[in-house]
Amino acid sequence: MYKLFFLLGILFPSLLIASTSEPKQNYMAIIMFVLFVGATLLITYWASKRTQTVSGFYTAGGNITGLQNGLAISGDFMSAASFLGISGLVYLSGFDGLIYSIGFLIGWPIILLLIAEPLRNLGKYSFADVVSFRLKQKPIRILAACGSLSTVTLYLIAQMVGAGKLIEILFGLPYYSAVTIVGALMISYVTFGGMLATTWVQIIKAVLLLFGATIIAFFVLHQFQFNIDQFFSAAVSSHDKGEAIMAPGGLISDPISAISLGLALMFGTAGLPHILMRFFTVPDAVEARKSVVYATGFIGYFYILTFIIGFGAIVLVSNNPEYLNDTGMLIGNNNMAAIHLSHAVGGDILLGFISAVAFATILAVVSGLTLAGASAISHDLYANVFLKGQSDEKKEMKISKIATISLGILAIFLGIIFEKQNVAFMVGLAFAIAATTNFPILFLSIYWKNLTTRGAVIGGSAGLILVILLVILGPVVWVDIFNNDKAIFHYKYPALFSMTVTFFGIWFFSLTDKSKASMAEKKLFKTQYFRSQTGIGIEKPSNH
Amino acid sequence: MQAKDYTKTYEQLIRTRLKILFPLIFITVSSYFSFIGVIAFNPKFFGALIVGTKISIGILLGFFLILLIFLITFTYVYLANKKIEPLIKQIQKNV
């Protein structure tokens, strides 16, 4: 019962702050947001009674169905950044938005065809379980945790800063309170409700977001009697760049960047810890497969909607003085295109709904990220490295909760520290790290017999260090943030180089590894492969 | 006799899976990198408008690619449930 009080205790202060803020009130949004938070806190209360074990905490007991998991996965992917960011990019330059949409989508067949089933068959709570199935626990877990935590932290910073700014504009809340509210709510969802609450928050939000985006797109197309040609013609004549918005613009300028960005997007998805973690919430490989099809369908549909929304904003928002400031730019910034469009086609009610959904999206996504981070700390580092697998349920559970709360507080601090920074590159870097470190070690541990601990650790860490270095020395950080004249590393997207180093390092140092331990590791491959293919011996879902 | 049975089924499982996976992986990787390749080497081609409309080839193909990606996942799951799953069930029974 005290949990319920605690949860409601979080609700009311946030209400208070929300209702006492700023003149430019958006009551509809506040009401809908409060409804969402209230409902999700009730779910958290319900889930908290079913989240007493470590397996309950990290996998929701393994009883999520394929459809539910598909929705939850698509919820993880349909972040505020991709909803507002991609529709904003489409609004700004048309076609280029499609490059990102397709890039984010192409990772899904890769996950399905190569990763999903073996992952479910071999792992328990985190992808490190799979990699350390036959390799040495300690070094592998440390490496996997480094990869996971850096991916999660970067993603988290990007979401928190985006959240603060968005809420500042939508609800008129001060940046600091916005970031704090997001952090506090996220901590309570995850600490009390674990994966079960996080999954349901994600599912509800995914449904709301798909619904909201469908409504906007419907209203937009309705204005053109669903004649796509007329719709695009109107966009071309409304946009400064004219017909150029129908063609690739400046996003990709040379072949190396094209391949490099392509690789990061294609394989990065298959290395994102918060996505991989979702495959442990379903009972078996059959449901794991199903969840990817649902997820791909929802995400693909959603990206088509964001594309229509971006173009819709070109037609209906870009020439409407109500949404522009004195310099003729969108109020807020380009990422507000979808929000303004919702007002343009659906008035205050739709604006309120979409604003509330955008906030809900951020909450759900940061919760999933935090949970993945917490599992790297408590399951990989604490239970399997620090205690060498000798930990008991109670202790691991306690550490999980402490890790969650610490990560939540850290996220709030990072959100505040990075307020004035341009964080757009961080999601890109997170994908690059995931593609460079997490994906290769996971992929090779499943499919390559000769992989050894030495190879994985040397190759994986070399790639990890290189990818971070190349981003810092590249145009995005070295020039745009440190204000140097010229980048030391010429390319914006490092994945091509860093992935090559990882794969080469792993290959070379595995093959030259003649130690006794490595022989045993190679021998174990047959057993592992049998289990990964047939699912015999997998972690069963719990019954409560 | 039984042990031999399941070894055979297991080999069949691996073969069947590869037969399904290879074409699908090939389609995934080649379609995506062709798309990215055109953007890198010949962006003008994607900018060309379809005759009589204001819709460009790039946008049309982009939509088709989204559809294709979904169809790849759908096809795999359909084939996996039909051809792979019975073999797995059979092995599980015999182990």
Residue B50 vs residues A140, A305, A309, A488, B59: alpha-carbon distances, Å: 53, 22, 22, 42, 10
Per-residue pLDDT of chain A in tens (544 residues, 90 and over written 9): 566 666 666 665 565 555 554 445 577 888 888 898 899 999 999 998 888 888 889 999 888 999 999 999 999 989 887 888 889 999 988 998 898 899 999 999 999 999 999 999 998 899 999 999 999 999 999 999 999 999 999 999 988 988 888 888 888 888 999 899 999 999 999 999 999 999 999 999 999 999 999 999 999 999 999 999 999 999 988 888 888 889 888 777 788 888 898 999 999 999 999 999 999 999 999 999 999 999 999 999 999 999 999 999 999 998 888 888 888 788 877 888 999 999 999 988 899 899 889 888 889 999 999 999 999 999 999 888 888 877 788 888 899 999 999 999 999 999 998 888 777 778 888 999 999 999 999 999 999 999 999 999 999 999 999 999 998 998 888 888 888 888 889 888 899 999 999 999 999 999 999 998 899 999 999 999 999 999 887 777 765 4
Which stretch of DSSP H or E encloses residue A175? Answer: helix A175-222
Among B40, B58, B77, select the one facing A254 at the smallest CB separation: B40
**Structural domain range at position B82:** 2-94
Establish if A163 belongs to a structural domain.
Answer: yes
pLDDT in tens, A451-472: 999 999 999 999 999 999 998 9
Segments in A223-282 forming alpha helices (H) = 228-238, 255-268, 273-276
User: Who contacts A543 (Cβ-Cβ below 8 Å, separation ≥6)?
Assistant: A61
Interface test with B, best of A238, A294, A533, A538 (most B CBs within 10 A): A533
Among B66, B72, B73, select the one facing A304 at the smallest CB separation: B66
**A245/chain B closest Cα distance in angstroms:** 8
Ordered DSSP codes for B8-65 = HHHHHHHHHHHHHHHHHHHHHHHHHHHHHHHHHH-HHHHHPBPTTSS-BHHHHHHHHH
**Structural domain range at position A383:** 2-423
pLDDT in tens, A298-336: 999 999 999 999 999 999 998 888 888 888 788 877 888
Nearest to A456 by CA among A152, A144, A133: A144
pLDDT score for A152: 94
ipTM, two decimals = 0.93
pLDDT score for A301: 97
**A511/chain B closest Cα distance in angstroms:** 25
User: Who contacts A101 (Cβ-Cβ below 8 Å, separation ≥6)?
Assistant: A86, A303, A306, A307, B62, B66
**A88/chain B closest Cα distance in angstroms:** 17
Interface test with A, best of B56, B57, B68 (most A CBs within 10 A): B56
Burial of A424 (C-beta count, 10 Å sphere; 0-12/13-18/19+): middle
Q: What are phi and psi of B49, to 5 degrees?
A: -90, 145
CB contact under 8 A, A289 and B59: no
Residue A360 belongs to domain with CATH number: 1.20.1730.10
A260: chain B residues, CB-CB within 8 Å: none
User: Who contacts A376 (Cβ-Cβ below 8 Å, separation ≥6)?
Assistant: A126, A128, A144, A145, A148, A149, A152, A273
The domain total for chain A is 1
Establish if A456 belongs to a structural domain.
Answer: no
**A256/chain B closest Cα distance in angstroms:** 9
Mean of the per-residue pLDDT values of chain B: 90
CB count in 10 Å sphere of residue A81? 23
Give the SS3 label for residue A330. strand
Q: What are phi and psi of A62, to 5 degrees?
A: 70, 20
Among A113, A233, A247, select the one facing B43 at the smallest CB separation: A247
B28: chain A residues, CB-CB within 8 Å: 106, 109-110, 113
